[in-house]
Structure 1
Amino acid sequence: MRLVFAAALALASTAALAQAPAAAPGSKNAAAITGGTYTADPGHTLVTWTLDHLGFSPYTGIFGDVSGTLTLDPKNPSAAKVDMTIPVSKVTTASSGLTAHLLRAGKDGGKPDFFGASPADARFVSTSVQVSGQSAKVTGNLTLNGVTKPVTLDATFYGAGKAPAQMGGKENVGFHATGTIQRSQFGLGFGVPMVGDAVKLDIAAAFQK
């Protein structure tokens, strides 16, 4: 029986390996990008933010479940349009206490320290894209905490390709972007300068169609 079980297990493993793709379906080949409107993949699009904590260490949190669209024309990449919505209410950090503090209502009816209990979604809408090779400067209007300011992100093409059939078979394209905002400009200046005003953004943007 042990020999039969071992043989069956070996056959199952071989079959699984045969079905697995020989390599990752995505690559840095820009020729794999097709035109059209892509939808943000909320499970793989993350906005990571980092700021200085009292001069002792950096502190990081994440916005996930991002939604939105990206419109691309490979023959005219500078005409790309991005419209992304970030649910601030779903912010998360490594500390449940700090996450709760970020979303805490103001004391005794006063102004919240940070976002408040029911913050509005943030939104970034591009206004221009300046392409250089596989990189671009994406400028747009960021609305956060009811305030709209221009923000420029440095974006780099990460990869494109078609997902395996067992994973939906959709066309995918991804980018990595970075930028910095001053949170006090958006009415979120609690603790400045002891807690950093400059917020570094590190964005993994995944899209499908």
Structure 2
Amino acid sequence: MKSHLLAAVAAIVLASPVMAQAPAMPGQPEAARVVAGSYKADTNHTQVVWSVDHMGFSTLYGMVGEMTGTLTLDPANLSEASLSIDIPLSGLTVTSEGFGKHLASGDFFEVEKFPTAKFVSTSVVANGDEAKITGDLTLHGVTKPVVLDAKLMGAGVNPMNKAQTVGFTATSTLKRSDFGLGYAAPVVSDEVELKITAAFELAAS
């Protein structure tokens, strides 16, 4: 009985058509696909996810979106690349309404007084498809140097709008105390972990 069952399964497998390969994503992590030029941030697909340790009991997450900015990039001369991003803190999102209001208050970001943060690169050191992007972050009225560890995620043509697009991921760590943000540890960790995904579309000439 068992041999008959195995034979039937084998027959079905052999008779089945070969499953089609899933189509490749439009963006591929190939530096040769990157086109030199001036790019604008894709506001809807550029995000920063941050996390902090809350008293050692839980890790809290939030997201900032709706960012605007520019990227000037030449694959043949990456050290001359420049990046400028405006970060509207009205785009700060968390999963609790009360927590969101607290973050926007005078205890933390003081969003009414400081509605926008800004990052402006000062140097780019590339190594293959990775780069260290050093820049000045202005947040809560304070400007401090920050280093982003960036990696090419993909480049190609966006099939929805036909725009030449390039995307990156990046990570960094900030200290809240550097920017005068909120309670000191151990209530909330001083270190804030950042995970960034950013997409840029080539500006029309």
TM over 0.5: yes
Task: Give the whole-Å Cα distance in 2 for the aligned partners of 1:132 and 1:183.
Answer: 30
Task: Tell me which residue corresponds to 2:109.
Answer: 115
Task: Tell me which residue corresponds to 1:64.
Answer: 65
Please list the CA deviations of residues 62-105 of structure 1 after superposition, one character each: whole Å capped at 9, or x if unmatched.
0000110010011111111000011112211011110111113x
Map 1:29-108 onto structure 2 (within 5 A). Answer: 29-104=30-105
1:135 to 125, 130, 136: 130
Query: What displacement does 1:117 show?
Result: 4.4
Query: Structure 1 stretches of 5 or more lacking a match?
Result: 1-20, 105-111
Instruction: Tell me which structure has the larger Cα radius of gyration.
Output: 2
| 1:168 aligned counterpart, secondary structure | coil
Change beyond 3 A, Cα 1:117–1:79: closer
Query: What displacement does 1:174 show?
Result: 0.3
Query: Structure 2 stretches of 5 or more lacking a match?
Result: 1-21
| 2:45 aligned counterpart, secondary structure | coil
Task: Tell me which residue corresponds to 1:201.
Answer: 194
Change beyond 3 A, Cα 1:57–1:93: same
Task: Give the whole-Å Cα distance in 2 for the aligned partners of 1:183 and 1:117.
Answer: 15
2:156 to 148, 154, 161: 161
Query: What displacement does 1:25 show?
Result: 1.2
Aligned structure 1 segments of 4 or more residues deviating by more than 6 angstroms: none
Task: Give the whole-Å Cα distance in 2 for the aligned partners of 1:117 and 1:160.
Answer: 35
Please list the CA deviations of residues 32-68 of structure 1 after superposition, one character each: whole Å capped at 9, or x if unmatched.
1110110000100001110100111211100000110
**One-letter identity of the residue aligned with 1:115:** F
Give RMSD over aligned pairs: 1.3
TM-score normalised to the size of structure 1? 0.83
Query: What displacement does 1:191 show?
Result: 4.2
Query: What displacement does 1:194 show?
Result: 1.4
Task: Tell me which residue corresponds to 1:7.
Answer: none
Task: Give the whole-Å Cα distance in 2 for the aligned partners of 1:32 and 1:187.
Answer: 41
1:126 to 121, 125, 131: 121
* Equivalent residue pairs, number: 180
Contact map agreement 2:49 2:62 (CA 8 A) in 1: yes
Task: Tell me which residue corresponds to 2:25.
Answer: 24
Task: Give the whole-Å Cα distance in 1 for the aligned partners of 2:149 and 2:51.
Answer: 16
Change beyond 3 A, Cα 1:32–1:86: same
| 2:43 aligned counterpart, secondary structure | coil
**One-letter identity of the residue aligned with 2:147:** T
